[in-house]
């Protein structure tokens, strides 16, 4: 029996669940599910999002942008010109739609030796990296807590995941060096800008230190940056990869600043690092949708795209301020929040408690949150915390949600 994490906490998988059943004309056939898939936990967040679709539940669980911010009007000219662009409906090159690749190469200011490829969401970029580079038992270092989707991808590749703890300025550098020295990981995966789930943005010093260690120990840095454009205060910092360009691969996404439904992301890095990804992508889907890439190019070149970015930052900054103020007003003693200057999440650490049970009780009280253990490869490592998303709820709902959380927490804490 294997443990699964369901919406209400751990449940167990029976041996029969390892088989896919079909039953035609009363002849039962079994097909064993691949070992790599058997050990993957179903996504808790997908399950909680399904439960949170009840219109009476205020969901702070997903990592969803607000639909009202989608820049559909800025995509309209490109969408309207698609009927005149017969070529984009043909098969296209695997690395991506050439005019878009040219645009991105320039806007990312890639060095001569580097390339960018487009993919179906940055999640596909992660999958391509895992399939191109990770053999079963290869060691990958990542922060703990960590982005759930990265754990899933590297888990499917049957990697050995080792974790580095994080403070409010980024990863613990001496732990990281020790890990590089003793475990020789193939790569270090991280989200330095407005981390998912903690919202932490690495300091400039940590960025330099991590880049120096990656070069010293020959570890490739996988920089996942979907929240980078969502900075609403403070100064933008260089990418970690800017300090170790030949030891890094960068993943970017338009999901958080334009629309996740477009499924658009990019991977950039040294040409020699990207060639194996192109091979894998050929086998996976030949190429990402070219009409979508033509729409993306129109969006990125639209003269009003920079003001769209400014506008969404202002909307999210206001919601973040509302959420933080409500948390400071209503949360009981013993709860702390990590300050952040962007992104989509606030991480609330709690007095030690069963956070699955808490999330369950909160759902019964019509608020959805994500409990900390789902963000750790080994849930026993988790300290008690919950992740709150502030981008997809109205300000008044954020306040009501915090009042409900505070009420449930207070009644739970008196029981401890």
Ligand X SMILES: Cc1ncc(COP(=O)(O)O)c(C=O)c1O
The binding site for ligand X (CB under 6 A) comprises 63, 121-123, 147, 149, 191, 196, 224, 226, 253, 255, 260, 265
- Asked whether 224 and 190 are in contact (CB, 8 A), the reply is yes
Q: Both tokens of residue 267?
A: 């991977």
**For the stretch 24-44, what's the b/e string if a residue is b when 16 or more beta carbons lie within 10 angstroms of its beta carbon?**
eeeeeeeeeeeeeeeebbeeb
**Minimum CB distance to ligand X, residue 21 (Å):** 31
Rounded Cα distance, 194 and 226, in Å: 9
**Minimum CB distance to ligand X, residue 81 (Å):** 25
Residue 229 backbone dihedrals phi, psi, to 5 degrees:
-80, -5
**Minimum CB distance to ligand X, residue 253 (Å):** 3
Residues 6 or more apart in contact with residue 83 via CB below 8 angstroms: none
Strands 336-337 and 265-270: unpaired
Nearer to ligand X, 149 or 342 (CB): 149
Nearer to ligand X, 146 or 348 (CB): 146
**Minimum CB distance to ligand X, residue 415 (Å):** 34
Nearer to ligand X, 120 or 355 (CB): 120
Closest CA to 316 of 386, 255, 197, 232: 232
Nearer to ligand X, 196 or 372 (CB): 196
**Minimum CB distance to ligand X, residue 254 (Å):** 7
Rounded Cα distance, 78 and 211, in Å: 39
Please identify which residue in the block is written with the tokens 């399950």. 47
Q: Both tokens of residue 194?
A: 């407005």
Strands 58-59 and 27-32: unpaired
**Minimum CB distance to ligand X, residue 389 (Å):** 10
Nearer to ligand X, 123 or 198 (CB): 123
Nearer to ligand X, 2 or 67 (CB): 67
Residue of closest CB approach to ligand X = 121
Please identify which residue in the block is written with the tokens 């407005």. 194
Q: Both tokens of residue 385?
A: 């915390």
Nearer to ligand X, 123 or 290 (CB): 123
**Minimum CB distance to ligand X, residue 405 (Å):** 22
Half-sphere exposure of 113 (CA within 13 A, CB side): 8
For residue 209, give the 3-state DSSP assignment: helix
H or E element, residue 50:
helix 44-51
Nearer to ligand X, 227 or 232 (CB): 227
Please identify which residue in the block is written with the tokens 């751990």. 10
**Minimum CB distance to ligand X, residue 392 (Å):** 12
- Asked whether 288 and 119 are in contact (CB, 8 A), the reply is yes
**Minimum CB distance to ligand X, residue 149 (Å):** 5
Rounded Cα distance, 228 and 375, in Å: 20
Nearer to ligand X, 198 or 412 (CB): 198
Rounded Cα distance, 88 and 274, in Å: 23
């Amino acid at each position: 029996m294997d443990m699964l994490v369901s919406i209400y906490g751990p449940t167990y998988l029976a041996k029969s669940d390892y088989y896919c059943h079909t039953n035609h004309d009363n002849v039962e056939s079994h097909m064993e599910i691949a070992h790599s898939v058997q050990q993957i936990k179903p996504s808790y967040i997908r399950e909680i999002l399904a439960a949170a679709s009840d219109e009476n539940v205020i969901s702070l669980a997903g990592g969803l942008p607000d639909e009202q911010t989608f820049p559909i009007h800025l995509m309209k000219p490109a969408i309207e010109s698609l009927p005149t662009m017969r070529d984009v409906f043909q098969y296209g090159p695997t690395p991506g739609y050439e005019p878009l690749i040219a645009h991105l190469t320039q806007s990312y200011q890639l060095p001569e030796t580097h390339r960018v490829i487009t993919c179906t969401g940055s999640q596909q970029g992660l999958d391509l990296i895992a399939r191109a580079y990770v053999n079963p038992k290869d060691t990958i270092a990542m922060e703990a807590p960590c982005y759930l989707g990265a754990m899933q991808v590297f888990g499917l590749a049957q990697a050995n995941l080792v974790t580095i703890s994080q403070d409010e300025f980024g990863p613990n550098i001496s732990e990281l060096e020790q890990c590089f020295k003793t475990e020789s990981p193939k790569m270090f995966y991280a989200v330095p800008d407005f981390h998912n789930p903690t919202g932490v943005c690495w300091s400039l010093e940590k960025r330099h230190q991590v880049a120096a260690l990656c070069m010293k120990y020959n570890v490739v840095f996988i920089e996942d940056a979907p929240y980078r454009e969502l900075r609403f205060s403070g100064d933008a910092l260089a990418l970690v990869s800017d300090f170790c360009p030949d030891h890094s691969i960068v993943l970017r996404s338009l999901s958080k600043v334009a629309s996740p439904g477009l499924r658009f992301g990019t991977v950039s890095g040294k040409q020699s690092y990207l060639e194996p990804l192109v091979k894998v992508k050929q086998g996976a889907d030949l190429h990402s949708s070219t009409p979508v890439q033509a729409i993306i190019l129109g969006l990125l070149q639209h003269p009003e795209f920079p003001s769209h970015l400014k506008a969404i930052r202002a909307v999210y900054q206001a919601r973040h301020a509302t959420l933080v103020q409500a948390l400071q007003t209503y949360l009981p003693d013993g709860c702390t929040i990590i300050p952040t200057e962007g992104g989509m999440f606030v991480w609330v650490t709690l007095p030690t408690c069963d956070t699955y049970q808490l999330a369950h009780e909160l759902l019964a009280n019509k608020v959805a949150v994500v409990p900390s253990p789902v963000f750790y490869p080994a849930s026993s490592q988790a300290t008690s915390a919950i992740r709150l998303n502030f981008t997809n709820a109205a300000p008044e709902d954020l306040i009501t949600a915090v009042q409900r959380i505070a009420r449930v927490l207070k009644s739970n804490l008196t029981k401890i």
